[in-house]
Chains A and B, each alone.
Chain A
Amino acid sequence: AQRVTQPEKLLSVFKGAPVELKCNYSYSGSPELFWYVQYSRQRLQLLLRHISRESIKGFTADLNKGETSFHLKKPFAQEEDSAMYYCALAGANNLFFGTGTRLTVIP
Chain B
Amino acid sequence: DQQVKQNSPSLSVQEGRISILNCDYTNSMFDYFLWYKKYPAEGPTFLISISSIKDKNEDGRFTVFLNKSAKHLSLHIVPSQPGDSAVYFCAASSPSDFNKFYFGSGTKLNVKP
A and B: real partners? no
A-binding residues in B (CB < 8 A): none
